[in-house]
Amino acid sequence: MEKLKLGIQKSGRLFDDSMKLLKECGIDISNGINKLKADASNFPLEVYFLRDDDIPQYVEDAVADIGFVGENVVAEKNKKVTAVRGLGFGKCRLSVAVPKGVQYPNSSWLQGKKIATSYPVVVANFLQQQGIQAEIHEISGSVEIAPGIGLADAIVDLVSSGSTLFMNGLQEVETIFTSEAALIKNQQLTPEKEAILQKLLFRIQAVKSAKNNKYILLNAPNHSLDTIVSILPGLKSPTVVPLAQEGWSSVHSMLNENEFWDIIEQLKAAGAEGILVLPIEKLIL
Ligand code: ATP
Ligand code: ZN
């Protein structure tokens, strides 16, 4: 039987989350891991451990059928691959940073300046969109030291917390690209491989929907049941079960992470008590 070949970063910021996602999808690749690849024991998948920068090229060339890689790398490499979906990890932003104390009103400040970056393609696109001409210096690592050694006036680099910039006397002034890890695929998958990919995507979706949702149980006085039920979004409608105590019911439903605190407050105001919130492991909608 054919196997789908997945390329993931061999070490670095995306490795742990990539492996974790496979595990949460019930795919076991704990056996037979060597430096280059691993075979899943219970799913038609082979995992290749690669440098993240090479993943788009390998997927274009069908060395790997699919890959998990940062959207920033996909944009930079500009290969013929299809981005299928975001994976919800590896979130970061590509930002302009300038030395502390520099006034940066907007991107026109970059006109005529020297910019150091590891992402020359994304930066060139940005400058072109803004109608700005600037000199781009491509450097592959430690971009944040470039202004300090007089190599550049500004940098464009990946930021998550901003502490690296801070330690190097820089301030983040503008975000030009936001990124997360994405699943990309080769544009000519065989129908058999496409079918395996659909199975994998189904599992990823179940894992991701579960993460964004919580299971909620609460006790409600019967006279406020209508209000409480109307506050709860739920999958279809909430489950309502009478409690042993006269005049009370137990209500079970699901809440989205984003609206969570808002809704909890409304529920309390409507008379809900004993609110219990549980994580969901998988969710098939
Ligand atoms: P490799 O040796 O595989 O080339 P790398 O040094 O290019 O590794 P990492 O620093 O491990 O790569 O980052 C991999 C990806 O993780 C980035 O391309 C980006 O999509 C994402 N990422 C998330 N947060 C950050 C961050 N704060 N800094 C850099 N990358 C981040
Ligand atoms: Zn890299």
| CATH number of 118's domain | 3.40.190.10
Helices (H), the chain: 15-24, 55-60, 71-77, 120-130, 163-167, 191-212, 225-231, 260-269
As for how many domains the chain has, the answer is 3
How many angstroms does the Cα of residue 13 sit away from the middle of ligand 1? 5
Query: For 141-162, what is the mean pLDDT?
Result: 93
| Residues 173-219: tens digit of each pLDDT | 999 999 999 999 999 999 999 999 999 999 999 999 898 889 999 99
The pLDDT score that the predictor gives to residue 237 is 78
Distance 265 CA to ligand 1 centre (A): 39
Asked if the model's pLDDT at residue 235 lies above 70, the reply is no
pLDDT value of position 260: 84
To the nearest whole percent, how much of the chain has pLDDT over 70?
A: 98
Whole-angstrom distance, CA of residue 117 vs CA of residue 98: 12
What integer best gives the mean pLDDT of the chain? 94
Are 201 and 66 within one domain? yes
Q: Could you tell me what percent of the chain has a pLDDT over 90?
A: 84
Pair (66, 194) in one structural domain:
yes
> 199 in a domain, yes or no?
yes
Q: Which amino acid is at 170?
A: L
Q: Are residues 172 and 97 in the same domain?
A: yes
Model confidence at 234, pLDDT cuts 50, 70, 90, reads low
* 81 and 198 belong to one structural domain: yes
| Domain membership of residue 119 as a residue range | 92-179
For residues 256 and 144, membership in a common domain is answered with no
Residue 242: enclosing H or E segment and its boundaries? strand 239-242
Among residues 179, 195, 222, which one ends one of the domains? 179
> With a 6 A CB cut-off, is 12 part of the ligand 1 pocket?
yes
16 and 80 in a single domain? The answer is yes
Is 90 exceeded by the pLDDT of residue 285? no
Q: Give the pLDDT confidence score for residue 32 in this predicted structure.
A: 62
Cβ-Cβ contacts under 8 Å for 189 (sequence gap 6 or more): 65, 197
- 117 and 172 fall within a common domain: yes
9 lines ligand 1 (CB under 6 A): yes
